[in-house]
Copies of this chain bind each other. A is one copy, B any other.
């Protein structure tokens, strides 16, 4: 059943590195886009990353960008970058269908904050990428470019697959449990989930308190630049200071101390995954980084204890916060909702408002535990997932390693540095709330330190 495209190796298309050629006149954003369109033609029948595209609009935008680069006046460092937009985020020129038949063909009539900012920065919006149903758990058929028999992860399924296959250089994703870091891990691209509130979610239908908009990117630099260009134009969520840090990618910074987080996922991680992480940590130690481990560090052990509840607590909080609009959708047409989504309603009703308040208090307690660790280390490292992408499309995989940063609301980066069963696996770098630039600087150093041999 595999098409010819499958015989190729997926190859991401870094953008920032390419812009030097635009300045020199040796390449153009339009030509860059055409190469993405070739990847689209070759890969789309295999992976199904897009819900819809606006190729004419993209070509027009790329031509305008080419003219700006030619004139030496790009609107930003990402002027001309082909990007995908997760279909939970509104676009004025394309429907926003949220992975739900309830929103077949629905037009919001406007660009979400993140999309408006991308266009203002000159980015070329190629299309809407497949999301699971309402960015929750029900898959919508996208396949992993490294093995179409496997899930790309989710909920930002299409964004990760499209970036990994070189159809775009970056794509917007959202994460409330594992939706950016997990698909980045499975597809072998970079994932950047910022601090909660760092990127304005206006017009994105991920309204939950742990949710945030983030970026899947061909490189860490691409991902950061997309995030920073958005935040510079439309800020963070209302009431939040917005992504803190420079517009350009933070320079690599060697960490003095890194903490290894095991999480409750460790016992179920594959043997190869454990070995790969252990080897990576050993190599970092070999380069002079002090490694903190739970066995020898009581504050870290306390964090691990708190994080045991990360996934069930996240599920409770998400379920209660999903009561709206779920009941409204159910009343419209329950047949068009998955069983998994419908099951959130009794879960939320069982929790109740008082249970929800207790869950928020418990989350705050765990966040405070983690914040106290900031004085002990520069960042934490762990796996992005317990294994490479599992076979089959019926699930988007286990989010046990990503629920922790979602609960904590802290920045996380997945770096395509590890290998499991010959397939990509992410090394996750976790920072502290508001310390997005610092976490990315550490991640950049780790990428440099480990990348040559493993990437």
Where the two chains meet, the residues of A that have a C-beta atom closer than 8 Å to any C-beta of B are: 92, 102-103, 106, 109-113, 116-117, 120, 200, 202-203, 207-209, 231-235, 238-239, 241-242, 320-321, 323-325, 327-329, 331-332, 353, 356-357, 360
Contacts and interface: CB of A to CB of B under 8 A. Distances in A.
B110 A325 contact: yes
Nearest to A113: B324
Contacts of A360: 239, 241
A408 to B, nearest CB: 14
Contact of A328 (B111, B324, B325, B357): B111
Contact of A241 (B109, B200, B357): B357
Contacts of A321: 235, 238-239
27 contacts: A92-B328, A102-B109, A103-B109, A109-B332, A110-B328, A111-B325, A111-B328, A112-B324, A116-B324, A116-B325, A116-B327, A117-B324, A202-B324, A207-B238, A209-B238, A209-B239, A231-B353, A232-B353, A234-B323, A234-B324, A235-B320, A235-B356, A238-B321, A239-B321, A241-B356, A242-B353, A242-B357
A448 B231 CA distance: 50
Given A113-B324, A231-B353, A234-B323, 16 more contacts: A103-B109, A106-B109, A111-B325, A116-B324, A116-B327, A116-B328, A116-B331, A117-B324, A120-B327, A203-B324, A208-B238, A209-B239, A234-B324, A235-B320, A241-B356, A242-B356
The 4 A-B residue pairs with the shortest CB-CB distance in the complex, in nearest-first order: A209-B239, A113-B324, A209-B238, A116-B328
Nearest to A119: B331
Given A202-B207, A324-B203, A235 B353 contact: yes
A454 to B, nearest CB: 37
A383 B25 CA distance: 66
A8 to B, nearest CB: 38
A203 B326 CA distance: 12
A329 B110 contact: yes
Contacts of A357: 241-242
Given A111-B328, A207-B202, A323 B235 contact: yes
Contacts of A200: 324
A247 to B, nearest CB: 11
A233 B323 contact: yes
A320 B209 CA distance: 21
Q: How many copies of the shown chain assemble into the complex?
A: 2
Contacts of A120: 327
Q: Which of A209, A325, A329 has the most CB of B within 10 A?
A: A325
Nearest to A326: B116
Nearest to A242: B353
A131 to B, nearest CB: 17
Contacts of A327: 116, 120
Nearest to A332: B92
B208 A332 contact: no
Contacts of A325: 110-111, 113, 116, 202-203
Nearest to A117: B324
A247 B323 CA distance: 19
Contacts of A323: 233-235
Contacts of A233: 323
A97 to B, nearest CB: 11
Max chain B Cβ within 10 angstroms of own Cβ: one of A92, A103, A116, A332: A116
A210 B178 CA distance: 30
A396 B320 CA distance: 37
A111 B324 CA distance: 9
A323 to B, nearest CB: 6
A238 B321 CA distance: 6
Nearest to A241: B357
Contacts of A328: 92, 110-111, 116
A109 to B, nearest CB: 6
A321 B328 CA distance: 28
Contacts of A92: 328, 332
Contacts of A117: 324
A173 B91 CA distance: 28
A173 to B, nearest CB: 19
A321 B241 CA distance: 11
Contacts of A356: 235, 241-242
